[in-house]
């Protein structure tokens, strides 16, 4: 990396913790201190760990010589970081969505939609972390194109969250686990989200949580977050089988019932939707149970998969 050796383009990706961007070997930008970098062997790994492609060395274009249609799609995401680029928009710009999807899958190990999602979320998280206008970054503005998402932060709050006493606060932090990087969200009442950063449902869950808890998302941690980190560490070391940390899981009474039953499955054992439905005394609700499992926002602690 210090030699800017072009032979290592695409062999490693380096995340710079101070700026949250990731680079390829030849980047011309000033070299960061060793303690501020993290090395990854794949593009996807750098992305799911919260880094954004560097604007100087452009890993998206240069790491694996993208054809012109992929370059165009990447450019569209960069220019519209908060907008969802649908297949329809791609077609309007003369791009074949199937070709784009295939290229992303083959070269980055993820779909174009997943790439966009990570890009949006990483941007939003970084802005929140920097304390940049939470009004515009509370994981909602600009997402009006996503289905089921009908409000913007302004509409919801009408004023800055700093001055707002009526709104609750959700604190978001990112942690690393042996299974991959995760987001953890907490309110004063407990943990309300624990999800892998590449989870497809993430944006829906963020907006759902904000609506249900009448809250805004800000960067930070509280005592519940700290307790969870400690318990997760013990869990992954094999020293813990049950979690004591408090949860705050808003949902319908049916969903809550389903999640409660999930929580009762003993460590190391599995269950089925059918068994869950019978336990709920509603043996025909198998599909509804499956759906409610899918809506669970607190993975590992409420073991849904």
Q: Which residues are catalytic?
A: 304
Closer of 29 and 188 to Zn ion (Cβ) = 29
What radius of gyration do the chain's Cα atoms show?
A: 21
Closer of 54 and 95 to Zn ion (Cβ) = 54
Contact call for residues 148 and 172 (beta carbons, < 8 A): no
Cα–Cα distance, 46 to 49 (Å, whole number): 5
Smallest separation (angstroms) from Zn ion to the CB of 71: 17
Torsion angle, alpha carbons of 215, 134, 295, 178, to 10: -120
Smallest separation (angstroms) from Zn ion to the CB of 29: 5
Closer of 56 and 290 to Zn ion (Cβ) = 56
Express the helix, strand and coil content of the chain in percent, nearest 5 each. Answer: 40, 15, 45
Smallest separation (angstroms) from Zn ion to the CB of 118: 18
Longest dimension (CA), the chain: 66
* Binding site residues, Zn ion, CB under 5 A: 23, 27, 29, 54, 56-57
Contact call for residues 4 and 27 (beta carbons, < 8 A): yes
Give me the DSSP letters along 126-195: HHHHTT--HHHHSS-TT-TTSTT----HHHHHSS-TTT-SSSEEEEEEEEEETTEEEEEEEETTEEEEEE
Closer of 39 and 98 to Zn ion (Cβ) = 39
Smallest separation (angstroms) from Zn ion to the CB of 94: 29
């Amino acid at each position: 990396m210090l030699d800017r050796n072009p032979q290592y383009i695409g062999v490693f990706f380096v995340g710079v913790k101070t700026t949250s961007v990731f680079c390829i070997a030849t980047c011309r930008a000033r070299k960061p201190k060793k303690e501020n970098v993290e090395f990854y062997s794949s593009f996807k790994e750098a992305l799911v760990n919260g880094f954004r492609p560097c604007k100087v060395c452009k890993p998206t274009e240069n790491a694996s010589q993208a054809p012109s249609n992929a370059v165009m799609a990447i450019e569209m995401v960069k220019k519209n970081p908060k907008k969802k680029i649908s297949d329809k928009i791609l077609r309007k710009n003369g791009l074949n969505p199937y070709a784009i999807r295939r290229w992303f899958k083959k070269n980055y190990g993820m779909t174009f939609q997943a790439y966009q999602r990570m890009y949006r979320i990483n941007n939003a998280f970084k802005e929140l972390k920097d304390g940049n206008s939470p009004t515009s970054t509370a994981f909602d503005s600009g997402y009006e194109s996503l289905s089921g998402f009908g409000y913007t932060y302004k509409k919801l709050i009408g004023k800055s969250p700093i001055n707002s006493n009526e709104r609750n606060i959700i604190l978001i932090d990112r942690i690393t686990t042996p299974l991959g990087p995760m987001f953890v969200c907490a309110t004063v009442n407990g943990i309300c989200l624990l999800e892998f950063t590449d989870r497809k449902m993430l944006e829906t869950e963020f907006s759902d949580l904000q609506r249900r808890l009448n809250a805004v998302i800000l960067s930070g941690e509280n005592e519940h977050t700290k307790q969870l980190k400690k318990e997760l560490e013990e869990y992954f070391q094999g020293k813990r089988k049950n979690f004591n940390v408090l949860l705050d899981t808003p949902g319908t009474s049916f969903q809550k019932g389903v999640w409660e039953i999930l929580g009762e499955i003993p460590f190391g054992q599995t269950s089925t939707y059918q068994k869950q439905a019978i336990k709920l005394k509603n043996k025909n609700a198998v599909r509804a149970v499956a759906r409610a499992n899918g809506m669970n926002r607190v993975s590992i602690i409420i073991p849904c998969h």
